[in-house]
Structure 1
Amino acid sequence: MSASFAEHGYLLIEDFVSEDWCDRLAQRAGELVAGFDADAHRTVFSTKTVAHAADRYFLESGDAIRFFLEEEAVDDAGRLNRPKELAINKIGHAMHDLDPVFSAFSRQPQLAALGGGLLRQPLLLQSMFIFKQPGIGGEVSWHQDSTYLYTEPMSCIGFWFALEDADSSNGGMLAMPGAHKGPLRKRFLRKAAGLTTETLDETPWPDGEVVELAARKGSLIVLHGLLPHYSSPNRSLRSRQAYTLHCIDGAAHYRDDNWLRRGSHLPLRGF
């Protein structure tokens, strides 16, 4: 398994978690959304406009549980054009530490064993519940996770759990096998003037194989932090819910200029 990960930059493990666990996470996410005041916070998350980068609500979400909206769920006046439970893009970014259901899921023994086999001192840094709403689920452009969660040396690994069937029809994931062996192209980081994206390497994405990572409910996709991956808009009538957990190695240096910060009241923990 580790050899395949080193060669391709990803793993697709079917039936890693039970359907019951998938349903429990979806139910808990629904409960959290029910308690969300959509009139108080209307931050839109989009990888195309990156407007959220200037929003304090997003900036200070590294040690909180916060809610971000789909771009097409908000009209020109900033009002929701549909019920909030159908307008949410994602919840983030410390669910794994602040919510007991997501914490228990994130620290399952089989996941701890997998993480421990890939990182020397795995620390759980970021978590997100992604809704990929029917009809309006936003595109996630080609990117590398280490752009957003940078360590020296680079150590970011993503664990992406399919809570519903995910394929090309509802915004499933695409990846470039082996392209994690190339450089980190960009960094999304804090500067004095705010968050910015800085180009590190002009090397274009490789003109090679692209694979669809179709994942049945309960599957886990493990992503190297340098692996380019993408998901298309969801124009179907069904959602594509997923839970993601990003880990870094405690033996690596997590730069202070990373966008995601944690307060001293919530230090990073492992599995």
Structure 2
Amino acid sequence: MLSTQQKAFYNENGYLKVEQAVTPEQLDELRRITYDLLEQAREVTETNDVFELDTGHSRETPRLTRIKLPHKQHPYFWEILRGSGVTEVLTDLLGPDTMLQTSKLNTKAPGGGAAVEWHQDWAFYPHSNDSMLAFGLMLEDVDKANGPLQVIPGTHQGPILSHHANGVFCGAIDPVDPLFEADKAVTLTGKAGDMTVHHARILHGSAPNLSDRNRMILFYECHAADAWPLLGAGSYIHSLGQTRLWNDLNERLITGKLCLTPRMEQVPVTIPLPPAPDASSIFRSQQSGGAKSAFA
């Protein structure tokens, strides 16, 4: 699906925009399921295993930061990952054997929906190699007003900046870090059905949603099957035990086959410990860990 030029751009810059990664029919179904889930959130009064609530949430005015693990909430999210243009981009960039790290549907509520402070995904889950990326499939049009993703090109080839504050892993960089060059940021807007791709090591973030519309982006974080997580990384798989871990690995296989011989590369690693007081999500880690905002 990707041209030679697109692959070269991604390798050099660490990000890519792919227009209309899914068909109109697939997009319609994804939106239908998502809005059904948003309706269900009206009956929820506190954050749970499915919905992470934003400040001001109520039955009359549902406000979410995200729907957790959408591929576990409805099988169609998994079908899209395994059988659509998304899959083609995945194998074009990571090869034939690929795994799902996690998924999330960030619904960033209108009128001030929470910002995601600048960070590198790699800081949360270092692996044996960095063949890792995230897709951001836009379920509605995304413009500059509703908190689009921003990236700093080329930072996937540089150092991993400190994501610690107050002695804990807060999941965000300090905006006064001399290696943080905000003036080089690129804003990624697009139409519903468009998809962004960003490398796990690239610096990225998103401002609050100041529009009157939800900013709905379906994120899939994926990696090559020969990239194995390091102990201490922020991943639920470490608490499973061997049998459940094996079953979980098979459940998260997207394409190809599992790999039991991790590929070891010389990559920068800092283990994301100790955790913030509330490390249940990036929003909670940044808030409870005392991360400084670059969007204030």
TM-score of the superposed pair, with normalisation by structure 1: 0.76
Q: For 1:105, what is the secondary structure of its paired residue?
A: helix
Q: What are structure 1's unaligned runs of at least 5 residues? A: 44-56, 58-64, 74-79, 189-194
CA distance in 1, matches of 2:173, 2:224: 22
The match for 1:266 among 227, 234, 248 is: 248
Q: For 1:11, what is the secondary structure of its paired residue?
A: strand
Q: 1:23 matched to which residue of 2? A: 28
Are the counterparts in 2 of residues 150 and 156 from structure 1 also a CA contact under 8 Å? no
State the identity as a percent.
25
1:74-223 paired onto structure 2 within 5 Å: 80=57, 82-83=58-59, 86-93=62-69, 95-97=70-72, 99-120=74-95, 121-186=97-162, 196-197=169-170, 204-206=179-181, 209-223=184-198
Q: 1:53 matched to which residue of 2? A: none
Q: For 1:91, what is the secondary structure of its paired residue?
A: strand
CA distance in 2, matches of 1:249, 1:102: 20
1:110 positional shift: 2.7
1:266 alignment partner AA: D
1:173 alignment partner AA: L
Q: 1:52 matched to which residue of 2? A: none
Q: 2:200 matched to which residue of 1? A: 225
Q: 1:69 matched to which residue of 2? A: 53
Are the counterparts in 1 of residues 134 and 200 from structure 2 also a CA contact under 8 Å? yes
CA distance in 1, matches of 2:183, 2:236: 35
CA distance in 2, matches of 1:199, 1:174: 14
1:70-126, Cα deviation, whole Å (9 max, x unpaired): 1x22xxxxxx4x327621110112x32552111111212432222112224310121
The match for 2:13 among 8, 16, 19 is: 8
1:35 positional shift: 4.0
1:144-175, Cα deviation, whole Å (9 max, x unpaired): 11122321222320000111111211111221
CA distance in 1, matches of 2:12, 2:23: 28
CA distance in 1, matches of 2:10, 2:234: 27
Are the counterparts in 1 of residues 14 and 155 from structure 2 also a CA contact under 8 Å? yes
Rate the CA distance shift 1:135–1:208 in 2: closer, same or farther, 3 A. closer
**How large is the RMSD of aligned CA atoms in angstroms?**
2.6
Larger strand proportion of the pair: 1
Q: 1:249 matched to which residue of 2? A: 224
CA distance in 2, matches of 1:220, 1:144: 19
TM-score of the superposed pair, with normalisation by structure 2: 0.71
1:116 alignment partner AA: T
